Structure 1
């Protein structure tokens, strides 16, 4: 055990040494205060143009260089069609930008000797289980923050969608078959990282939300930052979430991410996040005081798992502990994007060798505006001019996330067979179904049709429209309301359905539930 741990630390420090020797961007020696000042003026114009052109309803930007916040400004509106403007103190839901923030919180716990990155989850949270006993016994905080536990990426997201709380979701992850061997594959997991954070906080005897406040938000004066949704909605100066409806941005959906707070539930402002970036650029030193030991924070930026290539720049991309680590056009960078498909986009990009960082928070999805502005700013700083239309390049990436899938689903179910096979009587389908992962589902008559209820106490209801035979359709996604998904039944010899397969819950092949009782 000691040998394994020593080898792990040896590899970490070797990686840190390699990163320290990584060549600086070719034009880094040309980065002067004058060039940065010009870049900021052009960044401001680009941000104004993105809002004026309908790229997003609103956004806010913070830029930090050499421990100084050199740019801090809001653009556009908190909610489309309303006059309230975004400013540096507008609170945004930052989605997966929460991950590097939470990694910083855990680094503070590591710095204080409360846990280590290699602490075993079995010791911190003995009740937690993966599907297989060996990874359960060996799983560490490091494994969960680098997404190498073997958990499929979407595991638990589906339970959250239908109303389960954090404790129940983490308990039910034991029923999910692994998508890869332990530590052999990268699979981006919201609830895997959430478990890593929650377990790391357990020795304190306090909740994750309290620990985040005590170890990070309060020491940095991040007074508008929280890991509780209830705190977000208390702010009058907060940004709504927006999706496109008939080609226009509309604030249609609210998102409570408390179940996955460490992975996606932080809310914050550009001003507050600028202070966090100061801490990161200072390698744990803030306002002249060491808040986090450098060796604890350094480990978050060691590339542990390959992510392939950046989809726009083509640079090599890796994952550390809650951070993307990339070797791109401008040398080494650390970063992380955040997105809620119901209407949030965020981004942080750090150039550690140049002591330069930028945070962009926006209130819409899909959009590549944060990446586009960040890449444009980097070009201006390193090259003196923007090399291409990065906003368009990233817009194309995000537009392609759901469009093809929606189109394919529509095409699949564009029209039922002619003639369509009739449905059985409603009594053939009505009843209770269950499996270990999703719990109970109830199918019941509703007027001339059927309704499916899933989640704790039937928290979510979905109307079922007959398509063909024992196949029905429903439209479960609020953000893509015209995307159909199937709900199919298997009939038993008694003429009643013996099982139901719920398409929108079947990502990990756990969407088949068996009839329970009569």
Structure 2
């Protein structure tokens, strides 16, 4: 297990001995799966975050009545007891090493043969404090929440409440897509397998105060980029819709169903589903990000509106229970919560994700809330996640009966690289330089960002001026899917606000302005339209790659 988000090569080497909201895995991380609009980790300086890895295996029986039992009662991971003891000892050594790294945090847990071998925390929960990290420290688990949503849906299928292959519109009449034919055909299974033809459109919900019914209504206004069931495109709004549907079918809510059907039976008493609960928690980790080499604490990002896609907060001790349920074939402490048949359905490939650039990762597909792959010849079920200041990954080796959870409160790639390093250790495989690859990938991304900015500036026409006075551009502009964008004139300058994202507008050329926001490394080019009457009726902003710029129409106020 390895420390937080730093770049110290000695610590990276320790990680190898002890052992990142896409269409492929980059250094063990599903591209587009875990960022929710945020950039990847910056490896240029020391970062404070915390990593909370758990390695677990179980002796829970995995067969149902009438099935032929296998070797499920024994530890099936190839690492022997000496190797696990070595991991435990290394965890202790990390505690001393991490204490010397300012602001770096981690929690380490190792569970084998139904026993917690190691679970402890290193460092502090918040930069500049002495608040310790423990196995009870809460982290946002982000898109690792998706598997909880698909398990709830599987339970409702077992109850006869829904059918995976029934069109959503038959159960939720208000559900419509941009293409009405696609909307009529799209099934519950399509909602959770990233094959609906819709790209991310994350700025519909990111920072928005909209509620789930409003977001469902917004879907019909979002342009697709592919036909149904032809292309893998990661989609958080569809998971939001799936969780909303579950609540509607049961006269309940996703949160209540999750608590009653999964969290309470598993004894996951510390786990919560909102930012408010994480903020008020005495043992919650604070989010951190690294920009241009400087680490700073950032505000918590609310995911309440799209909670079924990524709002769960949990601890190592609670996540061990979640892993034991899966590795126990649906049983937990002698009680069956879900059938092994339903779990197999969750782990079954439903949509190809394409070829990964790492030779160690093959047969990359998406199941129901899980990414399915072959890692160096071993079947792996995994999912990553990320939001402002948090990154994580949950991984299982179902055939070996082992699993890992890695949680971090900084924008680092380590939850992904560390996962594969832990698996290499458990499977007694020759180590791969995952950390080195991740650092190289980060450097390539930084070069690509600089090149994108260079191309953007090269297209600028110099010597131009806006066609109107700056204060003429101010106003509220509306899009039926993305909501409102406000342009204000303050201190003789223009500023814009989309949801809760503020940024200054700097003149680029003609009636186009650079929108400088914290969430994008290269400013977005916002263009105003001049009407035949000389007014400014619209503005356009490139908020989703692959579709036309999103057009916002000016709201005309009476009087």
The verdict on how the C-alpha distance between 1:380 and 1:103 changes in structure 2, with shifts beyond 3 A counting, is: same
Return closer, same or farther for 1:43/1:337 CA change in 2, 3 Å cut-off.
Answer: farther
| CA pair 58-109 structure 1, distance change in 2 beyond 3 A | farther
Q: Tell me if 1:75 matches 2:122.
A: yes
1:473 to 507, 514, 537: 514
Q: Contact 1:409–1:483 at 8 Å: present in 2 too? A: yes
1:345 corresponds in structure 2 to: 391
CA change 1:331–1:376 in 2 (3 A) is same
Task: Classify 1:149/1:88 alpha carbon distance in 2 versus 1 (closer, same or farther; 3 Å).
Answer: same
Q: CA deviation at 1:335?
A: 0.5
Return the alpha-carbon distance in structure 2 between the equivalents of residues 188 and 375 of structure 1: 22
Q: Within the alignment, does 1:495 sit opposite 2:534 as a pair?
A: yes
More helix by share: 1
Show the counterpart of 2:81.
33
Q: CA deviation at 1:188?
A: 0.8
Of residues 505-514 and 135-144 in structure 1, the stretch that sits farther from structure 2 once superposed is 505-514
Closer, same or farther in 2 for the Cα pair 1:453/1:253, shift >3 Å?
closer
Aligned 1:141-156 pairs, distance under 5 A? 141-152=188-199, 154-156=200-202
1:408 aligns with 2:446: no
Aligned pair partner of 2:143 in 96, 111, 121? 96
Match of 1:390?
434
Aligned 8 A contact 2:98 2:122 in 1: no
Q: Structure 1: give runs of 5+ residues left out of the alignment.
A: 1-19, 21-27
Once the two structures are TM-superposed, the CA of residue 297 in structure 1 deviates from its matched residue by 1.9
Describe how 1:166-315 pairs up with structure 2 within 5 A. Answer: 166-312=212-358, 313-315=360-362
Given that 2:78 and 2:400 are in contact with CA atoms closer than 8 Å, whether structure 1 keeps it comes out as no
Map of 1:368 onto structure 2? 413
Distance 1:307 1:369 in 2: 22
- Change in Cα spacing, 1:87 to 1:466, as seen in structure 2 (3 Å) is same
1:256: Cα distance to partner? 0.9
The one of 473, 483, 491 aligned to 1:429: 473
Contact 2:212 2:244 (C-alpha < 8 Å) held by counterparts: no
Distance of 1:507 and 1:254 partners within structure 2: 29
Distance 2:505 2:471 in 1: 14
CA 1:363–1:191: 2 relative to 1, 3 Å: same
Q: Deviations over 1:454-477 (max 9, x none)?
A: 44xxx6544322232212122122
Bigger drift between 404-413 and 186-195 goes to 404-413
Quick one: which of 471, 493, 508 aligns to 1:449?
Answer: 493
Deviation of residue 330 (structure 1)?
4.4
Alignment of 1:318-357 (within 5 A): 318-340=365-387, 342-357=388-403
In the alignment, structure 1 residue 486 sits paired with structure 2 residue 525: yes
Do 2:524 and 2:542's aligned partners in 1 also have CA atoms closer than 8 Å? yes
Whether the 8 Å CA contact 1:368–1:397 is kept in 2: the answer is: no
Is 1:431–1:442's contact at 8 Å kept on the other side of the alignment? yes
Matches of 1:328 and 1:156, distance apart in 2: 30
1:87 pairs with 2:128: no
Q: CA deviation at 1:222?
A: 0.3
SS in 2 for 1:393: helix
Greater mean alpha carbon deviation, residues 128-137 or residues 440-449: 440-449
Once residues 366 and 517 of structure 2 are traced to their aligned partners in structure 1, the CA distance between those partners, rounded to angstroms, is 32
Aligned residues: 482
Aligned partners of 1:334 and 1:349 also within 8 Å: yes
Could you list the per-position Cα deviations for residues 224-265 of structure 1 after superposition, in whole angstroms to 9, with x for gaps in the alignment? 112222222221111111111442321123211111111111
- Per-residue CA deviations over 1:67-100 (Å, capped at 9, x if unaligned) read 4333322222211221112110000011111112
| Structure 2 partner of 1:122 | 169
Alignment check: 8 A CA contact 1:442 1:454 kept: yes
Instruction: Pick closer, same or farther for the CA change 1:37–1:460 going to 2, 3 Å.
Output: closer
> Could you say which residue in structure 1 is the equivalent of 2:553?
514
Deviation string 1:451-509 (CA, Å, 9 cap, x unpaired) is: 33444xxx65443222322121221225x5x6422211122233222321123467643
Work out the CA distance in 2 between the residues paired with 1:75 and 1:57.
Answer: 8
**Relative CO higher for 1 or 2, CA cutoff 8 Å, sep ≥ 6?**
2
Q: Is the 8 A contact 1:163 1:460 kept in 2?
A: no
Q: Is the 8 A contact 2:503 2:517 kept in 1?
A: yes
Per-residue CA distance 1:335-384 (angstroms, 9 max, x = gap): 111112x211111110011110111111110x221122221121112226
1:206–1:402: structure 2 CA closer, same or farther, 3 Å change rule? farther
- Whole-angstrom CA distance in 1 between matches of 2:100 and 2:459: 40
Aligned partner of residue 271 in structure 2, secondary structure = coil
- Output the TM-score relative to the length of structure 2: 0.79
The answer to whether the 8 A contact 1:437-1:510 is kept is no
Unaligned stretches of 5+ in structure 2? 1-67, 69-75
| Contact map agreement 1:93 1:268 (CA 8 A) in 2 | yes
> Distance between the aligned counterparts of 1:429 and 1:506, measured in 2?
25
Deviates more, 1:485-494 or 1:174-183: 485-494
Query: Does structure 2 retain, via aligned residues, the 8 Å contact 1:429–1:496?
Result: no
- SS of aligned partner of 1:259: coil
Give the Cα–Cα distance (whole angstroms) in 1 for the partners of residues 549 and 417 of structure 2: 38
- Name which of 155, 158, 161 aligns with 2:207: 161
